[in-house]
């Protein structure tokens, strides 16, 4: 942080994914002093730990952009810092210390489950945890995932396609089954993601499935041939096969439970047959009451995420932080202001952006724009707030709390230190040297302990 003792607006941005980093830049370029707090040691969030692990050029390009932003003297980065009700540092603490605004960009850190019988069985996972695993995010990097030969993937978006990519091309399982409540016309994945697994698509099974659901689709005006054409659109540029995995779809099938064997392992996915109806201007799935079992030994839910219940902000029924329905500082007609529905008033000085505001497509560009808008909304609020004459005193109060806070997850009881951007630069240099020594496209240390030890912080 700059040592100049001058009056500035002081803002905490929580979460250093694309939304948080670009929000920090928006604030800093307008003269605010920004403290960027991140749960993970490394910055990057979605860009570092959400994009498929072998998209090396894309990831390095984003890292380069983030480095340029984080080198701004108006921005102070502190990693390995969790903000929440039970972490030793809360939103209220930050406001009491003197931060004049807080921009929350922590993404969707909670795990969304359907609450079905059997979700506790061995072999049932959430896609988010697996994405974190193959991207080497601690502690998921060292978690063991027991993946069988027949994998049911619940959901038909790009996250499902990422997991299908992993089980088809990396694990080379016997069969991967995408299970969808609705029909072929409602799939949410992109043509580009199809290219990763198209060569493994069971074409005969797809045709049979399209034929099975065609009468239902046509009854509400959908075109089965167009849906089939889209699902096959990844073929022309599809990657060559590296496995004999059979990839197929189960449409009009709503999961109702996971069946287990005597050892507590997955033995099948129970689904209820659905039909399609047109309601309120959209296609809906309506249950038919008949149930059947999809044969599988692993179930992975690819159904999206939710915000963290323990963060400290009110949450609505859509698993998002509640926003001011009548924003004082709207951006492009959208509200970025946190809101307390019980008090029926905005939470003064607290803003939400990125996936903390609303779940999106997961694209970095979308997160960037939303983060910038969140920063602009905070700047509008700060126009009515006088700058602080000694921002360094507030930062020192924060550092004192961080030095004394309860450990987040230390088995030894040691306090987990905050990690500065200077330390991140050292860590990147160490990992780059190891990458070159091993001749790898990428290399990441898999535990926080390893990272802290090489930085001599443990």
Q: Let me know if 236 is exposed, middle or buried by CB neighbors in 10 A (0-12, 13-18, 19+).
A: exposed
Q: What share of the chain is helix, strand, coil (3-state, %, to 5)?
A: 35, 25, 45
Task: Please compute the mean of the pLDDT values over residues 328-347 and round it to a whole number.
Answer: 97
Q: How many CB atoms are located within 10 Å of the residue 61 CB?
A: 13
Task: Report how far residue 2's alpha carbon sits from residue 242's, in angstroms, rounded to the nearest whole number.
Answer: 53
- Predicted pLDDT of residue 292: 97
CATH 3.50.50.60 for the 116-303 domain, yes or no: yes
Residue with tokens 């905490």: 12
Task: Please compute the mean of the pLDDT values over residues 206-225 and round it to a whole number.
Answer: 97
Domain extents in the chain: 10-109+306-454, 116-303
User: What is the chain's mean pLDDT, rounded?
Assistant: 93
Residue with tokens 């050029």: 57
What is the reported pTM? 0.92
Q: Which of 19-33, 273-287, 391-405 has the lowest mean pLDDT?
A: 391-405
Residue 407 has pLDDT above 70, yes or no: no
What percent of the chain is predicted at pLDDT more than 90?
84
Residue 411 has pLDDT above 60, yes or no: no
**pLDDT tens digits for 235-282?**
999 999 999 999 999 999 999 999 999 999 999 999 999 999 998 888
- Predicted pLDDT of residue 403: 84
- Predicted pLDDT of residue 1: 47
What percent of the chain is predicted at pLDDT more than 70?
96
Residue 387's pLDDT band (cuts 50, 70, 90): very high
Provide CB contacts within 8 A for 215, sequence distance 6+. Answer: none
Task: Report how far residue 254's alpha carbon sits from residue 271's, in angstroms, rounded to the nearest whole number.
Answer: 5
- Predicted pLDDT of residue 108: 79
**pLDDT tens digits for 168-178?**
999 999 999 99
Which of residues 108 and 290 earns the better pLDDT score?
A: 290
Task: Report how far residue 156's alpha carbon sits from residue 253's, in angstroms, rounded to the nearest whole number.
Answer: 12
Note the helical H segments in 135-234.
158-165, 191-194, 203-219, 224-231
Which of residues 162 and 363 earns the better pLDDT score?
A: 162
Q: How many CB atoms are located within 10 Å of the residue 319 CB?
A: 15
Coil, strand, or helix at residue 280? coil
**pLDDT tens digits for 46-62?**
899 999 999 999 999 99
Residue 230's pLDDT band (cuts 50, 70, 90): very high
- Predicted pLDDT of residue 5: 57
Task: Report how far residue 75's alpha carbon sits from residue 78's, in angstroms, rounded to the nearest whole number.
Answer: 10
Instruction: Give the E-state strand segments of 308-430 in sequence order.
Output: 337-340, 345-352, 419-420
- Predicted pLDDT of residue 404: 79
Task: Report how far residue 231's alpha carbon sits from residue 234's, in angstroms, rounded to the nearest whole number.
Answer: 7
Residue 3 has pLDDT above 70, yes or no: no
Same fold, 10-109+306-454 and 116-303: no
Residue 94 has pLDDT above 50, yes or no: yes
Which of residues 285 and 403 earns the better pLDDT score?
A: 285
Taking alpha carbons only, the member of 167, 169, 139 closest to residue 151 is 167
Q: Are 214 and 224 in contact (CB under 8 A)?
A: yes
Residue 318's pLDDT band (cuts 50, 70, 90): confident
- Predicted pLDDT of residue 382: 97
Residue 349 has pLDDT above 80, yes or no: yes
Residue 389 has pLDDT above 90, yes or no: no
- Predicted pLDDT of residue 145: 97
Q: How far is CA 43 from CA 1, 205, 423, in A?
A: 17, 43, 12
Residue 287 has pLDDT above 70, yes or no: yes
Residue 101 has pLDDT above 50, yes or no: yes
- Predicted pLDDT of residue 86: 84
Residue 405's pLDDT band (cuts 50, 70, 90): low
Residue 415's pLDDT band (cuts 50, 70, 90): low
CATH class name, domain 10-109+306-454? alpha beta
Residue 110's pLDDT band (cuts 50, 70, 90): confident
**pLDDT tens digits for 65-85?**
999 999 999 999 999 999 998
- Predicted pLDDT of residue 156: 96
């Amino acid at each position: 942080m700059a040592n100049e003792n001058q009056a500035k607006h002081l803002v905490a941005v929580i979460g250093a994914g694309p939304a948080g980093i670009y929000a920090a830049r928006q604030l800093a370029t307008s003269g605010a002093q920004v403290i960027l707090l991140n749960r993970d040691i490394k910055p990057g969030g979605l860009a570092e730990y959400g994009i498929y692990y072998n998209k090396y050029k894309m990831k390095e390009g984003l890292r380069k952009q983030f480095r340029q932003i984080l080198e701004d003297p108006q921005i102070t980065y502190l990693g390995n810092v969790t903000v929440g009700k039970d972490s030793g540092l809360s939103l209220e603490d930050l406001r009491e210390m003197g931060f004049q605004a807080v921009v929350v960009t922590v993404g969707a850190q909670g795990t969304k489950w359907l609450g079905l019988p059997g979700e506790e069985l061995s072999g049932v996972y959430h896609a988010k945890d697996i994405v974190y695993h193959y991207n080497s995010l601690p502690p998921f990097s060292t978690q063991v995932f027991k993946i069988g030969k027949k994998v049911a993937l619940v959901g038909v978006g790009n996250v499902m396609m990422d997991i299908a990519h992993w089980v088809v091309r990396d694990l080379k399982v016997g069969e991967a089954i995408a299970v969808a409540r609705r029909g072929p016309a409602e799939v949410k994945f992109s043509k580009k993601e199809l290219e990763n697994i198209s060569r493994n698509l069971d074409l005969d099974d797809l045709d049979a499935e399209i034929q099975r659901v065609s009468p239902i689709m046509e009854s509400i005006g959908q075109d089965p041939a167009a849906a089939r054409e889209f699902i096959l659109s990844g073929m022309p540029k599809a990657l060559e096969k590296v496995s004999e995995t059979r990839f197929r779809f189960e449409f009009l099938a709503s999961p109702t439970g996971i069946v287990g064997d005597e050892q507590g392992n997955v033995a099948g996915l129970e689904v209820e047959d659905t039909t399609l109806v047109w309601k309120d201007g959209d296609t809906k799935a309506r249950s038919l009451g008949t149930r059947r079992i999809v044969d599988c030994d692993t179930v992975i839910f690819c159904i999206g995420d939710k915000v963290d219940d323990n963060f400290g902000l009110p949450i609505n029924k859509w698993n998002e932080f509640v926003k001011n329905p009548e924003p004082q500082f709207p951006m492009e007609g959208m509200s970025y202001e946190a809101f307390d529905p019980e008090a029926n008033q905005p939470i003064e000085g607290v803003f939400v952006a990125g996936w903390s505001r609303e779940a999106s497509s997961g694209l970095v560009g979308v997160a960037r724009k939303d983060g910038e808008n969140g920063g602009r909304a905070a700047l509008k609020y700060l126009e009515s707030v006088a700058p602080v004459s000694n921002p360094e005193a507030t930062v020192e109060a924060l550092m004192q709390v961080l030095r004394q806070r309860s450990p987040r997850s230390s088995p030894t009881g040691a306090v987990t230190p905050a990690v500065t951007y200077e330390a991140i630069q050292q860590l990147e240099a160490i990992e780059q040297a190891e990458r070159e020594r091993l001749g790898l496209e990428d290399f990441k240390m898999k535990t926080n302990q390893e990272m802290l030890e090489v930085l001599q912080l443990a």
